[in-house]
């Protein structure tokens, strides 16, 4: 019975099946050129952020007193020391942008992490139990959704006090209802499927049914929504930073950098343009990846 040969075959087959799933996923993802480009940009961004101290030519907080508002290197008056110029207090733009990538990715990760975890738990509970639990949860979510999202985040930050961490919590709370709704909708369609009934007959309890049986089948739309929210979080954090409610100076967060540069918008275009471009490119790349994920994950679910 316990033939070692056979169990080796079985294990190899099991690994094969997993690999095949991944290969298939990659095939559909790579059909979307934009998504691959987005993924490439995103990976570069992650590498740059991780290796910031090695890549950045200067310390982001050091002020070079002799070089206030130096234009980028290709413009008249540029200095090869500062490739993208310096800001109003003589800090190197390129270095600040590179360190800023750390913050942006960190914000995206934390916000999506909080919103996704909370949204999934609440959404699964609402969708699985229905009844009054569902009603209460969904009405609360409707209330949150009824506020303009940035305004609500602003109010929350005002209550919690300005700062990057509080801004992230506020944004997570604002984004959460989207995940709750999405999870609940997915759970509602899955919970009546035969395999759920079969698992219940096999003796699975509520917790197992919710998180082990149903949840993995609801993940595809959540992953897509997660990536799109990732960019949303970066944007919102930048907006809060711009309004002075997010990361506080001298943190090289892109939104905060924009806010600081507000008054030089006419005199020194580079201090506003580059942080703006950084936000734009990052958000675009992540949205493209999200699009590709949708392509790769959605038809699969319909087929199986």
Partner 1 sequence: MSAPILKVRDLKRDYVISGGMFGKSKLLHAVKGVSFDVERGSTLAVVGESGCGKSTLARMLTMIDPPTAGTIEIDGEGIDIAAHGVTREMRQAVQIVFQNPYGSLNPRQKIGAVLEEPLLLNTSMSAAERRDAALAMLEKVGLPPEHYGRYPHMFSGGQRQRVAIARAIMLRPKLLVLDEPVSALDLSVQAQILNLLRDLQDEFELTYVFISHDLSVVRYIADEVMVMYFGEAVEHGTRDQVFSDPQHDYTKTLFAATPRADVESIKKRLAAKPAA
Partner 2 sequence: MALLEIRNLRVEFDTAAGPFRALDGVDYTVEGGEVLAIVGESGSGKSVAMLAVMGLLPESATVSADLMAFEGIDLRTMPAAERRKVIGKDIAMIFQEPIASLNPCFTIGFQLDEVLKAHTSLSRKARKDRVIELLESVGIPDPLRRVSAFPHQMSGGQCQRVMIAIATACEPKLLIADEPTTALDVTIQKQILDLLTDMQRDTGMGLIMITHDMGVVAETADRVVVQYKGKQMETADVLTLFENPSHPYTKALLSALPENATGDRLPTVADYEAMMQADVREVQP
Residues that bind partner 2 (CB under 8 A): 24, 27-28, 303
Min CB(300)–partner 2 separation in Å? 10
Contact region with partner 1 (CB under 8 A), list: 65-73, 191-199, 257-265, 270-278: 191-199
28 binds, among partner 1, partner 2, none (CB under 5 to 8 A by kind): partner 2
Contact 287, 228 (CB under 8 A): yes
Which of 51, 155, 198, 280 is close enough to bind partner 1 by CB under 8 A? 198
Which of 55, 106, 150, 200 is close enough to bind partner 1 by CB under 8 A? 200
Contact 246, 235 (CB under 8 A): no
User: Burial of 187 by CB count in 10 Å (0-12 exposed, 13-18 middle, 19+ buried)?
Assistant: buried
Query: Is residue 23 a contact residue for partner 1 (CB under 8 A)?
Result: no
Query: Is residue 304 a contact residue for partner 1 (CB under 8 A)?
Result: yes
Contact region with partner 1 (CB under 8 A), list: 55-63, 81-89, 107-115, 209-217: 209-217
Which of 189, 193, 262, 280 is close enough to bind partner 1 by CB under 8 A? 193
9 binds, among partner 2, partner 1, none (CB under 5 to 8 A by kind): partner 1
27 binds, among partner 2, partner 1, none (CB under 5 to 8 A by kind): partner 2
Contact region with partner 1 (CB under 8 A), list: 92-100, 144-152, 171-179, 198-206: 198-206
Query: Is residue 22 a contact residue for partner 1 (CB under 8 A)?
Result: no
Which of 11, 22, 50, 265 is close enough to bind partner 1 by CB under 8 A? 11
Q: Which is nearer to partner 1, 193 or 262 (CB)?
A: 193
Give the chain as a DSSP string: ---HHHHHHHHHHHHHHHHHHHHHHHHHHHH-HHHHHHHHHHHHHHHHHHTHHHH-SS-TT---TT-TTPPPTTSTT-BTTBTT-B-TTS-BHHHHHHHHHHHHHHHHHHHHHHHHHHHHHHHHHHHHH-HHHHHHHHHHHHHHHHS-HHHHHHHHHHHH-SSHHHHHHHHHHHHHHHHHHHHHHHHHHHHTSHHHHHHHHTT--HHHIIIIIIGGGGHHHHHHHHHHHHHHHHHHHHHHHHTTSSSPTTS--HHHHHHHHGGGTTT-HHHHHHHHHHHHHHHHHHHHHHHHHHHHHHHHHHH-
What CA–CA distance (Å, rounded) separates 7 from 297?
31
217 binds, among partner 2, partner 1, none (CB under 5 to 8 A by kind): partner 1
Q: Which is nearer to partner 2, 28 or 242 (CB)?
A: 28
Query: Is residue 199 a contact residue for partner 1 (CB under 8 A)?
Result: yes
Min CB(197)–partner 1 separation in Å? 6
Q: Which is nearer to partner 2, 28 or 82 (CB)?
A: 28
Q: Which is nearer to partner 2, 27 or 40 (CB)?
A: 27
Min CB(27)–partner 2 separation in Å? 5
Query: Is residue 130 a contact residue for partner 1 (CB under 8 A)?
Result: no
């Amino acid at each position: 019975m316990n033939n070692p040969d056979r169990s080796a075959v079985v294990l190899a087959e099991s690994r094969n099946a997993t690999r095949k799933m991944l290969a298939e996923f990659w095939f559909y993802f790579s059909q979307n050129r934009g998504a691959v480009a987005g993924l490439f940009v995103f990976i570069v961004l992650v590498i740059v952020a991780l290796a910031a101290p090695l890549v950045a030519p200067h310390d982001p907080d050091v002020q070079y007193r002799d070089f206030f508002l130096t234009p980028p290197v290709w413009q008249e008056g540029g200095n090869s020391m500062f490739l993208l110029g310096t800001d109003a207090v003589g800090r190197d733009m390129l270095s600040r942008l590179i360190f800023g990538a750390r913050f942006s990715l960190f914000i995206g990760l934390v916000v999506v992490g909080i919103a996704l975890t909370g949204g999934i738990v609440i959404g699964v509970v609402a969708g699985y139990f229905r009844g009054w639990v569902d009603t209460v949860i969904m009405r609360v979510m409707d209330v949150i959704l009824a506020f303009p999202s940035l305004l609500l985040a602003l109010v929350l930050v005002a209550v919690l006090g300005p700062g990057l961490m509080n801004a992230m919590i506020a944004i997570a709370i604002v984004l959460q209802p989207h995940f709750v709704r999405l999870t609940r909708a997915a759970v509602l369609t899955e919970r009546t499927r035969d395999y759920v009934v079969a698992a219940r007959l096999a003796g699975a309890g509520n917790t197992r049914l919710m998180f082990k049986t149903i949840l993995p089948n609801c993940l595809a739309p959540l992953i897509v929504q997660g990536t799109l929210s990732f960019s949303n979080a970066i944007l919102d954090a930048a907006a809060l930073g711009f309004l002075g409610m997010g990361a506080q100076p001298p943190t090289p967060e892109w939104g905060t950098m924009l806010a600081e540069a507000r008054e030089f918008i006419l005199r020194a275009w580079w201090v506003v343009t580059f942080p703006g471009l950084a936000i734009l490119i990052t958000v675009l790349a992540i949205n493209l990846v999200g699009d590709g994920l949708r392509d790769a994950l959605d038809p699969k679910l319909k087929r199986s």
